[in-house]
Every structure is written in C-alpha cells, then in structure tokens.
C-alpha cells in the first residue's frame, strides 16, 4: 500500500508505539483520523479478556473467525491468514478498549495478546502460502484512562505524570 498513513503524523500527540496508547479523552481525534483514512474497525473489550482462552475467544469474535478456530496462536495464524486474504488492501484498526482492566486480571495474557497483534501489525503473522501477496494495513490502538495513555495537550513532567493528570 503506497499511500499508507503515518499514524504519528496524523495524531501528533502520540508518544507511544508501536501499540499506540490513546486516552479515552482523545477518542474524537482518533475517530476522525480513522474516518479520514477509511479504516475498518475491529473492537476488542479487555473486560472479557480475563484468561488466555477468553482472550482468544474475544479475538475470534472480533475478527469473525469460524467456530472451529482453536484457542491458540497456530489456529489464530491460520484464521488471520483467511481474514487478510478477505480484506486484502484494506486498512484495519484494532481498538482495544479497557486494556488496563484485562491487565489487572491477566497481565501475562495481555502481554501475549499484545505481542500477537503487533506481530500481525508488522507482518510477521499470518504466514501465507507461497505466492500469496495479500496484505492489510493494520494499526493497533489501546484505549484507556490514566497517565499511560496519550492525548492532546499532555506533556510528561519529571515525575512521569502528565500535566492533565494532576
């Protein structure tokens, strides 16, 4: 995709990445950016990602995977490959809401799911068959509250809290 949008150029308040942490207060800016670039949206709810199995089920539902898809990364890779072929050439934004709630309950699972989604973002997953050139432009956004999430007007001070958090 030669006209791939530059997320940090379009959302200059972002300091995080490659998994962009966006404060809920910045939703209007993110929403407008996704509309401007015609992103398909895939919504994840961290409140339902309380175990490895539950997280895989949430991913499967969000991406519309078939019922036979197993709760493991091999099965995800296979089904995500089909998703990429079906959505070849599209921009896809994963909007992971309430990630901090999932992290409180299942921190290792959140790290694992984040790794898996970022592997998809950089193109390490899926492994498509030889000669298959299907590709999507995937961007992953974690939405939440608190000092760990970026928003316009926030600047880090020496104590690590943004001026808007005080």
Strand partners, 138: 92
Assigned domain for 6 exists: no
Question: Percent of the chain scored above 90 by pLDDT?
Answer: 73
Domain residues for 35? 16-144
Assigned domain for 110 exists: yes
Assigned domain for 92 exists: yes
Predicted pLDDT at 129: 81
Q: Do 76 and 26 touch, CB atoms closer than 8 A? A: no
Assigned domain for 63 exists: yes
Q: pLDDT by residue (tens digit) across 128-148? A: 888 889 999 999 999 999 899
Q: Do 73 and 116 touch, CB atoms closer than 8 A? A: yes
Predicted pLDDT at 127: 81
Assigned domain for 121 exists: yes
Predicted pLDDT at 161: 45
Residue 159 pLDDT exceeds 50: no
Residue of 118, 115, 124, 127 lying closest to 75 (CA atoms): 127
Residue 166 pLDDT exceeds 50: no
CA distances to 25, 28, 142, 165 from 156, rounded to whole Å, are 17, 22, 19, 10
Predicted pLDDT at 156: 54
Assigned domain for 134 exists: yes
Number of domains in the chain: 1
What does the mean pLDDT of the chain come to? 89
CATH number of the domain enclosing 55:
3.30.370.10
Lowest mean pLDDT, pick from 21-25, 115-119, 139-143, 153-157 = 153-157
Assigned domain for 38 exists: yes
CA 60 to centroid of chain Cα atoms: 14
Assigned domain for 88 exists: yes
- The confidence band for 158, taking pLDDT boundaries of 50, 70 and 90, is very low
């Amino acid at each position: 995709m030669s006209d791939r949008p530059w997320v940090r150029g379009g959302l200059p308040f972002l300091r995080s990445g490659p998994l962009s942490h966006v404060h809920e207060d910045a939703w209007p800016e993110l929403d407008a950016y996704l509309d401007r670039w015609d992103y398909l949206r895939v919504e994840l709810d961290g409140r339902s990602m309380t175990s490895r199995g539950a997280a895989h089920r949430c991913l499967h539902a969000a991406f519309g995977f078939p019922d036979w898809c197993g709760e493991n990364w091999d099965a995800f890779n296979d089904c995500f490959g089909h998703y990429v072929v079906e959505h070849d050439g599209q921009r896809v934004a994963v909007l992971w809401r309430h990630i901090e709630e999932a992290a409180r309950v299942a921190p290792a699972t959140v790290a694992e799911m984040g790794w898996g989604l970022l592997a998809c973002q950089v193109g390490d997953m899926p492994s498509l068959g030889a000669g298959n050139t299907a590709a999507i432009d995937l961007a992953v956004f974690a939405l939440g509250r608190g000092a760990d999430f970026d928003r316009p007007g926030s600047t880090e001070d020496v104590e690590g809290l943004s001026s808007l958090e005080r």
